[in-house]
Amino acid sequence: MKKMNLLKGALAFVSVILLSGCSGNSADKFYKEGLKYIDNGNYEEAASNFSKAIALKDDRAEYYIDYGMTLIMLKENREAILNFDKAILNKENVIVNKNNKLAYRGKGIAYYKSYQYKEAIEEFDKALSLNELSELDEDILYYKGSAEEKSGLYEEAIKTYTALIDNSASDDNAYNNRGYAYGKLHEFDKGLADYDKAISIKKGNYNHYLGKYFLLMEADRKEEAHTILKEAAGIKVETEEDEFNLAKVHYYMEEYDMAINEFSKAFESGFEEACYYLGNIYEKREDYEEAVINYEKYIKAENIPKTTLVYNQAGACLLKLGRYSEALAYIQTGLEYRDKNMEQPLKRNEIAAYEKTGDFEKAYHLMTDYINLYPEDKEAKKEYEFLKTRLPDVSSIKQ
């Protein structure tokens, strides 16, 4: 899946197109210093300088935009949104439209990073409605498509990725992402066709092979799935990233001893994501202590985006170890991500955690909500009946 560009591209672009009329005053000096700190990855100092620039001159849209993007890097998303709002003007001219587009994009990213996907999509649509800075549209569409996926809006995501394909028929990542969305709608043939197209465009991309593997497994076409893994294993390894991706292939081929060695080497080479896979292998081997150690390394890593999946897996292992309060903390952190793809297992594990701690009343309330959301879960209905027996008088409990 294509990674969206968060910061540097936008900032570099702003500094080129918007500084042309800058005077030599102190505000501009602070602003330029902020840009230098961004280049060095020192976001705290960058934010400090942008703030000083704004204090001296509060009518420059680029100050607010770059300050907002820097605040996102510092995970101060709410404050970032406030600054983007100050950059947006209700006027119609080329310069204003450029600034507004950058600000809407920034707001969308801030909402996205806050797991407020509906609001993010609205801001991305506002940005896309402006014709200026069309070179940003690809990046915005990828963010929008991802937000739609996380919201469970797969039909909308398909339209978004189709727009990317219409703009560039050779965009292998757009085919990959659209294939995933088709798969979530159980339109397996369309999804597989998209993965095949992605592979044909870029044969050396492991992600396309693995995406097709997942979809074949979901379609219960296991023999074909195993074949695609063999094809992926045959890709020529040229870089450390290739070695890491090959470890993933061996993992899905269940060649765990080999994968452990490869993931351990990948972690030493800086691929922190390897910890997730190591945790998963140890979990499969029921070595839950070692699994938790690796999941926590992944969670604490600063340079990789966190996913709901790792919080769920860490929580599940901690439940196995009887560390219920720790498990609940991870599970509830995972739920804060509002990822529709993972809400069901997270909610199920949350109920189990409360049950294990003896808080049957809380477990009962959560299970009531759960079976309304997921009526197809027959095991949950049995558990619901069991929870009733653990309460002194169900009729007296506040709903």
Contact (Cβ atoms closer than 8 angstroms) between residue 169 and residue 197: no
- pLDDT band, very low/low/confident/very high, at 19 (cuts 50, 70, 90): very low
Cα pseudo-dihedral 337, 339, 340, 345, rounded to 10: -80
Nearest CA to 120 among 129, 108, 128? 108
Q: What is the pLDDT of residues 305-335, one digit of tens each?
A: 888 999 999 999 999 999 999 999 999 999 9
Q: What angle do CA 14, 19, 25 make, to 5 degrees?
A: 135
Q: Provide the strand spans (E) within the chain.
A: none
Q: Which residue has the tokens 């929580």?
A: 315
Determine phi and psi for 349, rounding to 5 degrees. -70, -30
Which of 203, 214, 204 is CA-nearest to residue 177?
214
**392 band by pLDDT with thresholds 50, 70 and 90:** confident
159-176 pLDDT per residue, tens: 999 999 999 999 999 999
State the pLDDT confidence band at 20, using cuts at 50, 70 and 90.
Answer: very low
Q: For residues 360-379, give the mean pLDDT.
A: 96
Contacts for 27 with CB less than 8 Å, ≥ 6 apart: 52, 53, 54, 56, 57, 60, 63
Mean pLDDT, the chain, as a whole number? 93
Percent of the chain past pLDDT 90, that is, above it, reads 89
Which of the four pLDDT bands, split at 50, 70 and 90, describes residue 397? Answer: low
Residue 393 has pLDDT above 90, yes or no: no
172 closest CA partner among 146, 141, 205: 205
| pLDDT of amino acid 227 | 98
Domains of the chain (ranges, CATH numbers): 1-151 (1.25.40.10), 307-399 (1.25.40.10)
Which pLDDT score is estimated for 170?
96
253 vs 10, which has greater pLDDT?
A: 253
Q: CB of 7 within 8 A of CB of 69?
A: yes
Q: Do residues 113 and 75 touch, judged by C-beta distance below 8 A? A: yes
Six token digits for residue 318: 């901690």
Q: What is the dihedral of CA 37, 41, 42, 48, to 10 degrees?
A: 60
Q: Which letter does DSSP use for residue 134 in this model?
A: G
Spacing of C-alpha 284 from chain mean position: 24
What pLDDT score was predicted for residue 70? Answer: 98
**Separation of alpha carbons 267 and 258, rounded Å:** 14
* Token pair listed for 238: 């040229």
Residues 295/310, Cβ–Cβ less than 8 Å:
yes
CA distance 84 to 79: 9
pLDDT tens digits for 242-299?
Answer: 999 999 999 999 999 999 999 999 999 999 999 999 999 999 999 999 999 999 999 9
pLDDT for 22: 46
State which H helix or E strand residue 348 sits in: helix 343-356
Predicted confidence at residue 307, as pLDDT, reads: 86
Q: What DSSP character marks residue 357?
A: T
pLDDT recorded at residue 303: 82
Nearest in space to 281 (alpha carbons), one of 258, 305, 303: 258
If you count them, how many residues does the chain have? 399
Instruction: Please state, in angstroms and rounded to a whole number, the distance separating the CA atoms of residues 296 and 323.
Output: 14
Select from 165, 167, 166, 183 the least CA-distant residue to 175. Answer: 165
* More confident position, 372 or 395: 372
